[in-house]
Structures are given as structure tokens and as C-alpha cells.
Amino acid sequence: MPDTFKAILISRDADKKQSVAVADLTRDDLMEGDVTVAIDATTINYKDGLAITGKAPVVRRFPMVPGVDFAGTVVQSANPEWKAGDKVILNGWGTGETHLGAYAGISRVKGDWLVALPDGMSASDAMAIGTAGYTAMLSVMALERHGITPERGPVVVTGAAGGVGSVAIAILSGLGYHVIASTGRTSESDYLTGLGATEIIAREELSEPGKPLAKERWAAGIDAVGSHTLANVLAMTSYGGAVAACGLAGGMDLPSTVAPFILRGVSLIGIDSVMAPRQLRQEAWKRINAEVDHAKLSALSRTIGFDDIIAAAHDIVDGKIRGRVVVEM
Ligand code: NDP
């Protein structure tokens, strides 16, 4: 394990003005934890973009190494569950927010936060999925728990060309669902149908203020956008259906009414990946390994290096990233 390693560091001055720079850290800079991990790969999630650009108060401790997820190799462990050489994945638990995160050579974390890298999955594959893809799987699992099956009807996926959306389409189509992809980038239609979308609809069909109830169009939805989009998805969900709400790329508000809930028995299911219990995470990663088509994973991801992280973080909040970005460390 090297004595010093490169990291991206977000700092704040006395006027609370944020700055981002590459710094050399030592092991003494690492935070408390019983497992030290050499980071093999990480990724850029929307939340990482918000942290680096400072567009939302994601970072709650300064200085902070951003990066909410990584795949790595255990180099030191005082936790009986892990030993040096083990391959692990970490998603959330405050990394990159309150605990030094993934954009560094090394991280020290609580062993309880880690999940074993599934057999046969590489660190890069795990980060092609990343927190966005693992959230997509949590959303699919939530719809299944609600009794949504392919026979019930189509599932709409909003923010379709983004990370959560792309992986959600790949998973749902693999399970036999008719997937309706809602995107602001209709130029990406071939990409979305390649992932398994059956129909593509324009973002504007859902992003403008709509009626409390509208024509029933789908049995379920996975929404990464929020605001009017989520309100319209709910208003167009058929009787007894369900919508998994996991994102806010279009806004944090929810200008809806109770009509879909009390007149159509529609359910709104909240999805949180950060504090999700360990058993659910293990189940999600097991299913990702078994069910996500490898060719689709390659199609929806590209790889960058450490030096490209800051630019990619700006691009993701500007809606310029398609699918997923893997960072090889
Ligand atoms: P991406 O930036 O990769 O994807 C978001 C997509 O949303 C964009 O690609 C775009 O899709 C669409 N979009 C962007 N801006 C707008 C807008 N103003 N109005 C409507 N649509 C818009 O981000 P991720 O997929 O990584 O994350 C998606 C959301 O999910 C984020 O809000 C993120 O914070 C949240 N998230 C939540 C998690 C949780 O635990 N609940 C975990 C992970 C992510 P298109 O171009 O196809 O229209």
C-alpha cells in the first residue's frame, strides 16, 4: 500500500465558497473504519456531479473526497468478515458526503458497509452498474414486491438515457417487460431500443404540468426525474399499479394530487440506495450479476481515467452523459 495517494478534494473557505483540486493524501488522512480498501474502479453518479459542482449540498463535511461508490481490493482488515485480497463493492452509507469517498487511491470504511463483488464480475463491470444501476435494480425489486409482472402491462422509465434509466431498461427488458422509455434525447432512440426499450416517448410528454388523472398508459414506472414528470407518470398509471420514485434530475418537488392514489389505487414507492439494508443490497447485486446482459453493460458504459473525473462530473449535471461512466483507478 503506497504512503501517499492522489485524491480529488472538495474544500470550502471562510465564505463557504467551494473549490475542487487534486491533492496528495496519506493514510493518516483517512477516516475511521475497520477495513482499508485499494480502489480499483469507481464511477460518476448524478450525486457526484452535484457534489463536485456544488449545485446541491451533497457534501456535509469539509474537506471531502467525493465519490459515492467504488469496487476495490481489501488491503487491511480488522473486521472478521473481510481479509486482505477480498474483492468488495461499496455503495453509499455517506461516502463522498460525510465520509471520505471513492475518488482516491485508498479508502478506509466500516466493513459492515461492504458487499462482496459477485463471482465472475470485474471491478469495472460493477462500476458500469454503480450506484445508479444498483438503484435501478432496487426499483425493479420494489415493483416486483408490489406484484408488478410483465403480464400487467408496460413499465415507463423516465430519464431513460441516463444511468438509472439505461440500467433499468436493460433489467426490465431482460425480465420480459414492455418498456416505454421517456427521454429528452430522441437522438438516442437506437441506443435505447438496443438496451431493450419497446417504445420511446419524448420527455415533453411528461415534463409539463398535467391533469390529476389522465389516460391509463402503463402498469408501473421507474422515475429518476421527479417534479411534473413523476406527477404525470402517476396520473397515467393504470388501476392498482405502482411507481418507484428514485430521482430528482428534473426537480425535487412533486406537484401532484391524491387522485391516482384514492381513485386508482396507485402506489408510490420510495427508493433509497444510501442506507438500504445490507440484505437488500446483497440480493440486488446477486440479481444484477445473474440478470444483466454483459453485451448491454458494454453498450451502456464507457471508461475514463482519474484525470477526467471533474469534467465528467460537470457533464452529468448538464445532462450530457449517456448511460454510465466507469473510472479506472
Ligand atoms: P443521469 O444524469 O445519468 O440521468 C438523469 C437523466 O434524467 C438524464 O440523462 C436525462 O435523461 C434526464 N434529465 C436530466 N435533466 C432533466 C430535466 N430537467 N427534466 C427531465 N429529465 C431530465 O443521473 P443518474 O441516472 O445517475 O441519476 C438519476 C437520478 O436518480 C438523480 O436525480 C440521482 O440523484 C438519483 N439517484 C437516486 C438514488 C437513490 O438512492 N434514490 C441513487 C442513484 C441516483 P434523458 O436525456 O433520457 O431525458
Tally Cβ neighbours within 10 Å of residue 251.
14
pLDDT, position 236: 98
Atom of ligand 1 nearest to the CA of 165: 25
pLDDT, position 256: 97
**Residue whose CA is closest, atom 20 of ligand 1?**
250
Task: Tell me which architecture the domain covering 4-117+297-328 has in CATH.
Answer: Alpha-Beta Complex (3.90)
Longest dimension (CA), the chain: 62
The pTM of this model reads 0.96
pLDDT, position 329: 93
pLDDT, position 290: 95
Tally Cβ neighbours within 10 Å of residue 146.
16
Kindly give the distance from the C-alpha atom of residue 314 to the centroid of ligand 1, in angstroms, as a whole number.
Answer: 14
Q: What is the residue extent of each domain of the chain?
A: 4-117+297-328, 131-270
By most ligand atoms within 8 Å of CB, the mutation choice from 44, 97, 225 for ligand 1 is 225
Give every residue of the chain whose pLDDT is below 70, as ranges.
none
Q: Is the CB of 273 under 6 A from ligand 1?
A: yes
**Residue whose CA is closest, atom 1 of ligand 1?**
162
Atom of ligand 1 nearest to the CA of 324: 3
By most ligand atoms within 8 Å of CB, the mutation choice from 43, 44, 45 for ligand 1 is 45
pLDDT, position 294: 87
pLDDT, position 187: 93
- Three-class SS state of 66: coil
pLDDT, position 3: 81
Atom of ligand 1 nearest to the CA of 49: 2
By most ligand atoms within 8 Å of CB, the mutation choice from 46, 314, 316 for ligand 1 is 46
Kindly give the distance from the C-alpha atom of residue 249 to the centroid of ligand 1, in angstroms, as a whole number.
Answer: 4
49-93 confidence digits (pLDDT tens): 999 999 999 999 999 999 999 999 999 999 999 999 999 999 999
Q: Is the CB of 323 under 6 A from ligand 1?
A: no
Q: Name the E strands within the chain.
A: 4-12, 18-26, 35-43, 69-77, 87-91, 106-109, 115-116, 155-158, 179-183, 199-202, 218-223, 237-245, 267-270, 301-305, 324-328
| Topology (CATH) of 131-270 | Rossmann fold (3.40.50)
Tell me which residue has cell 420527455.
203
* Cis previous bond, 63, omega within 30: yes
**Residue whose CA is closest, atom 36 of ligand 1?**
247
Kindly give the distance from the C-alpha atom of residue 290 to the centroid of ligand 1, in angstroms, as a whole number.
Answer: 25
- CA 299/CA 116 separation, integer angstroms: 25
Atom of ligand 1 nearest to the CA of 132: 43
Same fold, 4-117+297-328 and 131-270: no
C-alpha cell at 180: 416505454
